[in-house]
Amino acid sequence: MTIVKEITHYLEQLAPLSYQESYDNAGLIVGNTQTEVTGVLLTLDSTEAVVEEAIAKGCNLIVAHHPIVFKGLKKLNGRNYVERTIIKAIKNDIAIYAIHTNLDHVMGGVNSMIAERLQLQKVRVLAPKSDTLLKLVSFVPTEVTQAVLDALYEAGVGAIGNYDHCSFRVNGTGTFRPNEMANPFIGSAQKDEEVTENRIEVIFPAHLQGKVLNALKQAHPYEEVAYYISALQNLNQEVGAGAVGELPKAMTGDEFLTHLKDTMGLQMIRHTALVSDSIKKVAVCGGAGGFLLNDAIGANADVFVTADYKYHEFFDADGRILICDVGHYESEVYTKELLQRYLSKKFVNFATILSETNTNPVFYRS
């Protein structure tokens, strides 16, 4: 039996809720965390039609990219599509979970999926975030240092880009005196003690703090564990907005536009004038990514693929880069496949189904 909480916990390990933007509302929006899951329907948007599809297909959990609720609801009387969707879900015991800007901000998330479809290589975060990392310093007897570090590594510390088990240590002497109430691992009550110790330093994502401290205290032999945690302003190369990578080989502007249309399944592309005869480096951002234009230019990208550009914003390209607006829905619709890929590897006792409902509110006529 798999319950809703197990699935949401797994998704939040992939894309921690702390990585979402302040305006966002990712997480479990409707439903009981203890409900047994009969099936999961994966969608870009939660709508009434999607809830009806979930009912028809025996799925009692909808995992959507976009939250159906962004702002607080003061009434639930069915006056708009948001309220009607929520009412229908509650009446039919359908849970709704949203994984939005937190999935935008992790490697392996929405932007990595776009990069994958465009066949980009050497992909990295376009605009890494700061203030998401912490540093742990502790003092450990030399003979158990590796065991403590192994426990910390298991809890998620010491990962830097393509490297893990990263730490720093320096040897020194620790002093202490146990009182009469102490039960010391080394030493005796009311006697000064000196111990050869290693000062260890490791970094880790801030959202893992509780798990890391628990691992430290479980593995450390001392009754009282000395440690301190510092916030870091370092850019976290694994967390941030957008992505940038390189095509396997350079293309002309026309070749790239054809490639973009074919690989993303697009009906149309709104774009600025071609400014280069050679397209190699490509920046991407699912959804409304105009705020990353200067980052894309700063990364020396030849083209910036995103959505929701307004007329006057296209002028900001200013002959420095090719802007391609592929449409909001079109830029993120493959997120459904990404979620299915993750969930189907972890959970095999129920179906993960891609929604067949086209929730795109924008229509095109040629």
Residue range 249-259, pLDDT digits in tens: 999 999 999 99
pLDDT at residue 54, rounded to an integer: 97
pLDDT at residue 73, rounded to an integer: 87
What's the CA gap between 328 and 293, in Å, rounded?
A: 16
pLDDT at residue 186, rounded to an integer: 81
Of 260, 254, 246, 293, the C-alpha closest to 277 is: 254
What's the CA gap between 114 and 160, in Å, rounded?
A: 24
pLDDT at residue 143, rounded to an integer: 94
What's the CA gap between 42 and 57, in Å, rounded?
A: 12
What's the CA gap between 120 and 244, in Å, rounded?
A: 8
What's the CA gap between 347 and 357, in Å, rounded?
A: 23
Identity at 64, one-letter amino acid code: A
Structure-derived torsion over alpha carbons of residues 356, 360, 361, 366, reported in degrees to the nearest 10: -110
Determine what percent of the chain falls in helix, strand and coil, rounding each to the nearest 5.
35, 30, 40
What 3-state DSSP class applies to 108? coil
Average pLDDT, consecutive stretches of 10 residues, N- to C-terminus, the chain (366 residues): 96 96 96 96 97 97 97 89 96 98 97 98 96 97 96 96 94 91 83 93 96 97 94 94 98 97 96 94 97 98 98 97 98 97 90 95 89
pLDDT at residue 350, rounded to an integer: 83
Tokens in use for 105? 């901000």
What's the CA gap between 148 and 131, in Å, rounded?
A: 26
**What is the 8-class DSSP label of residue 206?**
G
* Dihedral sign for Cα atoms in the order 227, 233, 238, 240: positive
Tokens in use for 269? 């592309």
pLDDT at residue 151, rounded to an integer: 98
Give Cβ neighbours of residue 98 (< 8 Å, ≥ 6 apart): 25, 26, 27, 29, 46, 63, 64, 65, 66, 67, 68
pLDDT at residue 187, rounded to an integer: 80
pLDDT at residue 108, rounded to an integer: 95
Backbone angles phi, psi at 139, to 5 degrees: -130, 120
Give Cβ neighbours of residue 45 (< 8 Å, ≥ 6 apart): 64, 65, 66, 68, 359
pLDDT at residue 71, rounded to an integer: 84
pLDDT at residue 136, rounded to an integer: 98
pLDDT at residue 190, rounded to an integer: 85
